[in-house]
Chain A
Amino acid sequence: MRSRFDPVAAHPVCRTVAPAGILAALCFFPVAVWAARIGDVGEASSISEQAVRFFTFADPALRCALLGALLLGLNCGLLGSFIVVRRMALVGDTLSHAVLPGIALGFLWASSKDPVAILVGATLVGMAGVLVSHAIERTTRLKQDSALGIVLASFYAIGICLVDHIQRSSAGKMSGIKSFLFGQASALSEADVLLMAVISAVSLLVITLLRGSLVTACFDSAFAHAIGLPVRALERLLLLLTAVAVVVAMQAAGVVLVSALLVIPASTAYLLADRMPRMLVIAALVGMLSAASGAFFSFLGNHLPTGPLIVLSAACFFVVAFLFAPRHGWLSGVFMRRSRWRRTRRENTLKTFYKVLEDRQFDGEDIALLTVAQIRKESVDEVVRRVRDLVAHGMVTLGDEGETAYFTPEGLREAARIVRNHRLWELYLTTVADYPADHVHEDAEEIEHVLGADMVRQLERRLSFPTEDPHGKPIPVVPEPVVGAAGFGIAGETTEHRDRFRL
């Protein structure tokens, strides 16, 4: 750990690779105890040669690393999904730190790197850690975060001491324990991969068989308990499977980063899926893809540790999902807000047009853009831009000079509808909700844009089809659409569209 970023000891091949600045820093990692790394067999030097070797699965160490990575990605994705939907990400983190003493004990017990001994020791200690935190939570006034924090740090500290002790007392014989700290997929032996395969198969089987019960227990544990599902046992089972998944993933990802494998692929899937089965599939796929690409880049870089690369790949998938997820993504939110804002802007301009006509008792149909600009306190250029938008939507047409505008029948209907909504709402607030008349305008400015056809009908009924608003202005009647006229939407259609963006 002490010489992690020591440039003097940098491997010559690494300097030539440097695919990305930060990643490259990680290759200055000259820990001698590391066993064979991917790519140690045959000193290939160019990236393309390395890539060819990767995809032809030429050497056995690579096959083990890749297969192991895929299995751990699958396993962590599946179990991480349950962690994420149960809001237990911190439990995963605690688990991953708490297993370290168990790994060390497994080493001491078998006095070599025996996968089964390590698995048993680590799983038992990891689960004990989580149960201790439960006990702290139950018997003291501490809440979950503190309880987990206490367990995480103290178990990890014990683990570090034990690992240090093992390294001091029996250097060489105990090689491989370091890979648990930082993660190196190439340290996976065939026995490790076989164990991973068995474990992944068990998790997959359990989750497939118990899917319905597990989801029920996770969603509503009180209900699950009431209908007779063994909630406690299911929770323990998930904890056990997760502990096992963490232990087997640890060799490739390292103690600190392994919990990211539980959380990141599953969170990515959470943004993309609205149903649990799909979330499980996506999480498993993202987990596998991240693990495989982590292994690939580690191989390309010759000595790059796999753990950080797997986590970075997973983080990339997450960023993509965060930005582009169809419903929960950032971009779709931006688009939705934008289109809603544009619509509101169009409706406000139409309203001003209506006001211009109303102010002169609907004498003549031309609307001077200059007047509109004065009422809206905007520049004429701004108004022209807005009018162009309205023209594009078939709401108004422009006069020959481009200085006046005229409503299309649809535009007039839309304008009347907005003004009607506004005045109905003002009237509702003053008569039914007892607002003073001078308090209601601002509120109606907002509400007019979101009232659906349904709500308007209810308001009309409640106010017994009024004709005047609280300020004495007439509440316009929305003109009937011309039947059969092409290009004219029906009023219901626009409101239905609006309902989808209900606030």
Chain B
Amino acid sequence: MESATAQGSPPPALELHDLSVAYHRRPVVYGVDVAVPEGKLVGIVGPNGAGKSTLVKAALGIVPLGSGWVEFFGRPYAEVKKRVAYVPQRESVDWDFPVSAMDVVMMGRYGHLGLVRRPRAADREIASAALEKVNMLPFANRQISNLSGGQQQRVFLARALAQQGDVYLMDEPFAGVDAATEASIIELLKELRDAGKTIFVVHHDLTTAEDYFDQLILLNMRLVAYGETRDVFTPELLQKTYGGRLTILNRVAEQAERMRVSGPGVNYDDKRHR
């Protein structure tokens, strides 16, 4: 830490600068500015349709940016992909797909392996260790449709662990998970945080948000607040986050959609994406 300060403070683990995203020209996220330092467990909180998933996808370049830029450790995402791990929403994939739990976790290694290289023994060990970490090793060879919802979520988590990143972006990792599993997952996330990793969790349960996270990003189409949980988890800010959309912002968004001319604009459909 000392040396880092000597050279000036280290670049933030994730910096979003004036980030905006639009689906079909309808703005979903407006001008978000956030710079999150390393070693934090950060909750992304907001009502349905607040653009939480979109924010995560935009940070990873899965959806195109309307404006602004994203940097991880002071560099564009493309240069540091291997340091960033991602847990998509569980419903975003077809769980009847003919792959085993181990196959799914192994996918976490392809960012390191590239297109053609085959997984080696070392990769298999990393994948096994990741499955072990989430107590899913006994189910490694199960086809994924034969797993319960919580088990599927843990497989996704293991895949992110297998990516061995320094930043983790997780989209609703607690959806459809029982209380015991949720507790063990949050334990694991805190362990990662203590090891210096930075973790972002899209979360919608306000009753647990205060206990789980060091920092919160309160989002409702625009950034309502970002800061230490004790500072921003206040009735006023939560009211601002959940107390309906900004009427004018919303109306302009709808108008923008109506004005949309034919021809390919930003043509990404969130719900259809698998």
Residue ranges of A at the interface with B (Cβ–Cβ < 8 Å): 85, 87, 135, 138-140, 209-210, 212-213, 215-216, 218-230, 270, 273-276, 278-279
Contact = CB atoms under 8 A, between A and B. Distances in A.
Contacts of B81: 226-228
Contact of A219 (B97, B113, B119): B97
B115 A220 contact: no
B61 A279 contact: no
Given A219-B99, A226-B86, A212 B94 contact: no
Contacts of B106: 212
A227 B110 contact: yes
B116 A210 contact: yes
Contacts of B57: 222
Given A138-B264, A275-B98, A275-B99, A222 B88 contact: yes
B100 A227 contact: no
B255 interface: no
21 contacts: A139-B264, A212-B118, A213-B115, A213-B116, A218-B97, A219-B107, A220-B88, A220-B274, A222-B62, A222-B273, A223-B107, A223-B159, A225-B60, A225-B61, A226-B86, A227-B81, A227-B163, A228-B78, A228-B111, A273-B98, A276-B98
B177 interface: no
A274 B96 CA distance: 9
A376 B164 CA distance: 61
A138 to B, nearest CB: 4
Interface in B26-79: 57, 60-62, 78
A139 B86 CA distance: 30
Nearest to A143: B272
B124 to A, nearest CB: 12
Contacts of B267: 138-139
Interface residues of B, number: 38
Q: Give me the 10 closest cross-chain CB pairs, A-B, nearest first.
A: A227-B111, A274-B143, A226-B60, A216-B107, A138-B267, A228-B81, A226-B86, A220-B93, A222-B62, A219-B97
The listed residue with most A CB atoms (<10 A of its CB), out of B81, B88, B98, is B98
Contact of A227 (B86, B143, B262, B263): B86
Contacts of B262: 139-140
A229 B60 CA distance: 13
B103 interface: yes
Given A212-B106, A213-B115, A215-B103, 20 more contacts: A85-B98, A87-B94, A138-B267, A139-B262, A139-B263, A140-B262, A213-B110, A215-B99, A215-B107, A219-B93, A219-B99, A223-B86, A223-B88, A223-B107, A224-B107, A226-B60, A226-B61, A275-B143, A276-B98, A276-B99
Given A226-B62, A275-B143, A221 B107 contact: no
Given A209-B116, A213-B115, A275-B103, A219 B86 contact: no
A60 to B, nearest CB: 39
B99 to A, nearest CB: 6
A210 B115 contact: yes
A500 to B, nearest CB: 10
A270 B143 CA distance: 12
B14 to A, nearest CB: 14
A215 B115 CA distance: 11
